[in-house]
Structure 1
Amino acid sequence: MNTVFNCKIFAHRGANRQAPENTAAAFDKALNYAIDGIETDVQLSRDAIPVLFHDRFLDKLGLPDKRIDDYDFEELQAMRFTQSPDHQGIISLEAFLHRYRGRCTLNIEVKNHEWESVSRQQEKIQLTLDIMGESGADDVFVSSFNLQSLEIAYQNSSKTPLFYILGDHHTAEDLDLALGRQPFLAGFCLPVSGMTQSKVEQLHAHGKTVVTYTCNSEAEIQKALDLNVAIMITDDPQLALKLRLSRRAMLKG
């Protein structure tokens, strides 16, 4: 019974089907639902300000040949998403935390790219931690596909919960290796397509929190509920909440 009761629902980049992803409008609309958390993405502007943006290029701002780090933060603030009727723009991590911390749990994914230098990646994770502050609170956690960044984060802020994200290309051996060599990790984020009961049990046996992404269809959401994951990340929080409520009602009955 605890399977459904414990599964939290996080809005992926906010309510991104109702407003441009990673904008204040998307986060505000997500909070209109009884969500448990919000997932967002952090990158650096040219002048090293952590901002919320997912993609490498600025297609969504009408600049398909430009990158987020081609512009200073002040320049980015002046830009607007091309399909935003209410003129939504890029916001900083600092503004995001100030506005939404304490209202729900926040998953801060630090984006890392092969084209970035190691020093740039290190700077990004350190600036993110500095802005978050080392409170040790469990209302905010950091995730990344980059283990080196998470190792740096642990060395500099051992109280911050850190989650390693694996993709479809990762193998069972990759998971075993991370479990063996990075015991500091609080949890793992795995794609719902590759989630199995054995993986969940393996992670639970190591005391790890299990997150799955991105659960958008009814089948994917039901799978996350069936597997007893701690958190599901979804582009459709309204559907996820409806299915979780239905499951709870059925179990209570």
Structure 2
Amino acid sequence: MNTMSEHNYSLPKKSMVFAHRGANREAMENTRNAFDRALRYAIDGIETDVQLSRDEVAVLWHDRFLDKIRMNDKRIDDFDYQQLQTLINSSSENEGILTLQDFLITYRKSCHLLIEVKNRDWEPPTRHQTKMRQTLDLIGNNPEQGILVSSFNLASLEYAYRYRPEIPLVYNFEIEQTIVDARQLLTTHDFLYGFCLPIASTDQAMVNLLHDQRKCVGVYTCNSEAEITKALQLEVDILISDLPDKALILRDQ
């Protein structure tokens, strides 16, 4: 596995393909089955999402609500971890709720990992900090192993940098953010290792700006042939896809 360094970022020879929440079209997202199926392909990395249970266990889950198990009015943080184990595919060892700790133990040596800390406005900043702190503590002091931490919440990344400045941090852009925002952040938040951008709003000027400043450029979520081709032509560093097998074929053909 190639290594990544916070302070000496170098461009990969070709765009790296990351499986978005694992091979989520083949198995329930963010589960062992999804990750194991993704690893059947020659992927470079896995992207996943971290939430907190009510009793503050870091678990892999994308949305706040539990609609994926037909509990649309219930939230991930309504339940303790043991309750979530019972609620979410309890009969399936490989599609049940997975803790971040178990995920790291199992997959950190298999490929690069991009761990998105899902800090949004519906949680108080104290929970944001707890979630980020747990994530960084579980990663440990070996960021050279190719683990990146990302968030849409800039304050959380600022906190993470103060807490563990050696961990590579990636800021996720919203669709409405532009190159003007990127220029400002390059001035005020130079500690950022990179940026993860919506493929729809990413262009060559943005990629060039970030590469000129030696920042890693990721794009999400590239599923159609047009989106994957665009990302490859832009020579982004990380291409995140729900269809990693398709992305790999287009990249390597």
Matching of residue 33 in structure 1 with residue 41 in structure 2: yes
Q: 1:160 & 1:5 partners in 2: Cα distance?
A: 23
RMSD, aligned α-carbons: 1.7
Structure 1 outlier segments of 4+, above 3 Å: 84-87
Return the alpha-carbon distance in structure 1 between the equivalents of residues 12 and 114 of structure 2. Answer: 20
Over the matched positions of the two proteins, sequence identity in percent amounts to 52
Distance in 1 between the 2:158 and 2:193 partners? 12
Instruction: Name the CA shift for 1:87/1:40 in 2 (closer, same or farther; >3 Å).
Output: closer
Do residues 14 (structure 1) and 25 (structure 2) align?
no
Q: How is 1:199-210 mapped onto 2 (pairs within 5 angstroms)?
A: 199-210=206-217
Cα deviation for residue 138 of structure 1 reads 4.0
Q: Which runs of 5+ in 2 are unaligned?
A: 1-10
Establish whether residue 24 from structure 1 lines up as the match of residue 46 from structure 2: no
Cα pair distance change 1:191/1:81, threshold 3 Å? farther
Q: How many corresponding residue pairs?
A: 243
Q: Aligned AA for 1:129?
A: L
Tell me which residue corresponds to 1:250.
none
| SS of match in other structure, 1:137 | helix
C-alpha separation in 2, matches of 1:227 and 1:124:
33
Q: What is residue 249 of structure 1 aligned with on the other side? A: none
CA offset at residue 77 of structure 1? 1.3
Structure 1 partner of 2:132? 125
- Matches of 1:182 and 1:86 in 2, distance apart? 41
Q: Out of 143, 154, 172, which is 2:179 matched to?
A: 172
| SS across alignment from 1:6 | coil
1:109-161 alpha-carbon deviations (Å, 9 max, x no partner): 00011111011111110111111112232411100001110011111111100
How far residue 5 of structure 1 moved from its aligned partner, in angstroms, is: 4.1
Q: 1:13: Cα distance to partner?
A: 0.2
CA distance in 2, matches of 1:131, 1:163: 18
Asked whether the equivalents of residues 80 and 87 of structure 1 are also in contact (C-alpha less than 8 Å), the reply is: no
Residues 133 and 160 of structure 2 are in contact (CA less than 8 Å); yes or no, is this contact kept in structure 1?
yes
Q: String of CA shifts for 1:55-103, please: whole Å, max 9, x gaps.
A: 1100112211111010011111122359x98872110000000010110
Q: TM-score, normalised by structure 1?
A: 0.92
* Structure 1 pair 71–18 and aligned structure 2 pair: CA distance change class (3 A): same
**8 Å CA contact 1:112, 1:145 repeated in 2:** yes
> Does structure 1 residue 221 correspond to structure 2 residue 240?
no
**What residue is the counterpart of 1:183 in the other structure?**
190
The residue matched to 2:192 in structure 1 has which SS?
coil
Alpha-carbon distance in structure 1 between the residues aligned to 2:141 and 2:86: 31
Alpha carbons 1:214, 1:233 under 8 Å: kept: yes
> Which residues of 2 match residues 1-253 of structure 1 at below 5 A?
5-81=13-89, 88-246=95-253
Shift in Å, 1:173? 2.3
Provide the C-alpha distance between the structure 2 equivalents of 1:77 and 1:86, rounded to a whole number of angstroms: 10
Q: Which amino acid aligns with 1:79?
A: L
